[in-house]
Amino acid sequence: MITTRSNTTSNKIQPPPNVYISNDVTDEGLNDSLPSPYLRSPIDGSFQSYNLAESSYIKPHKNLTFSYVPYFNTLQHGTLGRSDSFLMGTLHLNYEKYQQVKSIDLNFKGYERTSWTKTQGRTKFVYSGEHIIANKHYRIWSSPTKDETEILNLDVPFKVRLPYDLPDTLKTHLGEVYYSLRAIVNLKGSLISSTHTVEIHCPLKRTLVLDSDNSKLYKFHGESESITYTFVLPPAKNVNIGVYISIPMRIRFLRPGISIERIELAIKTNMKFRCNTNNTCKVSKRSGEAIIPRQELQYLNPIINNVKGDCIKTISFWIPRETLPTYYGRYITISHVLCIKIILLGIERTVHIEESINIANIQKSFDVELPPPPAPPRFLNPKAFSLYLTTCGDRINYLVQNSIDSDSISFEDRDVEAAAAIVTQLYQSHIKKRTQSLSDEISSPYLYDG
């Protein structure tokens, strides 16, 4: 079998627009690869608590707690990758009696860790490895005087820059990548303890930002004794998590009496774990399987000389939300392969195709023209507004197209027409707010430590 690969902008096999990077609004919850950090929509008026859950604390302290920035449920702000991203939140000090505090520090730490066991007879061997990915210290508060400051209750907002190129938080049964954030309250020296500390889990999500230079589709070809095939993958073979991706294909038959029984797709995840003694442990699993029966296949041309015409199909393939991102670390390696199996009818032969792919949380950076304001909805519902265009206003369109006299329009129709101006204003205002940068939304009083 011969396979060739290339980037392409050909229009012969072209997927529909926006099939590789979807959004969690238009997909109605199917895509949660890039969930909104908001706890609830501000339009709703009701919000959850901003305090971290008890399960988020590694080492709790009865007088020290963390909370999120209002309306968010994560400490991470900004796109983690090669651009600026920050940890933002508030540290709360609540003492029963006054404490003499000199300063308050944060320690952000990241770990890559593996551990597994092997049994030989009655002997059990434990293999492990640990690597510190990041270790950053930040001072977020100091006493305004040379001496200590007596504090009973104090809220300290903070904004600290994260290191570049940090990997995602990930967890498997043999290894994990995780982060922690520790707050250290430095007190006046005493015989008991000169510091109070609290430590929490700090999960991070890395985002791969695609620019216009990486927007070309990836095409690969192959040939066997019976067929030739062409498949089109997302740009640079980058696949988003928790979305449906479209994979256009074309198959040509080289021999008479052959057709396709079915096509099977799956993602194979290969994980390799290492330890300090250079021992390794390999694990493979399959996920996201899909089967396309012959009833769903289409043929371009009629049968000529008992040879079927080209078979075409745009496969809609779901990438599960629990799929781990591609990762290459010191002790952990996670890679993915797209496995395609073509089962032929009329010949006892199956064509196996494997193509490596990169799975990540993906975001576009090139400009997209904003859609026009949506048509007025039947009922004015501010909770339904979003950044994305919705389809509504069918009745108004019908009235306009059929030139119905204004006197014949019912009271309900007049309400819809009157609401159109309000809807347009709210939509434009919502667009303006959603496109503001995070720094504009949340600036002072959060302290910044670069």
- Residue with more model confidence, 58 or 389: 58
Sequence-separated (6 or more) residues with CB below 8 Å from residue 198? 57, 59, 60, 61, 64, 65, 66, 182, 183
Closest CA to 235 of 18, 13, 20, 3: 20
pLDDT digits (tens, 9 = 90+) for 48-67: 458 999 999 999 999 999 99
pLDDT of residue 187 exceeding 80: yes
pLDDT score at 104: 95
Asked if pLDDT for residue 416 goes beyond 90, the answer is no
Residue 385 has pLDDT above 60, yes or no: no
| Lowest mean pLDDT across 21-30, 41-50, 121-130 | 21-30
The answer to whether the CB of 154 falls within 8 A of the CB of 447 is: no
Residue 358 has pLDDT above 90, yes or no: yes
Instruction: Give this prediction's pTM.
Output: 0.70
Nearest C-alpha neighbor of 354 from the set 368, 367, 365, 339: 339
Q: What is the mean pLDDT of the chain?
A: 76
Phi then psi for residue 69, to 5 deg, are -60, 140
In the numeric block, the tokens 């797209």 are attached to 338
In this structure, are residues 341 and 231 in contact, taking their beta carbons and an 8 Å threshold?
no
Which pLDDT value is given to residue 71?
85
In the chain, the amino acid numbered 124 is: K
Assess contact for 337 and 354: CB atoms under 8 A.
Answer: yes
Q: Which residue has the higher pLDDT, 417 or 128?
A: 128
Choose among 116, 119, 140, 110: nearest CA to 128: 116
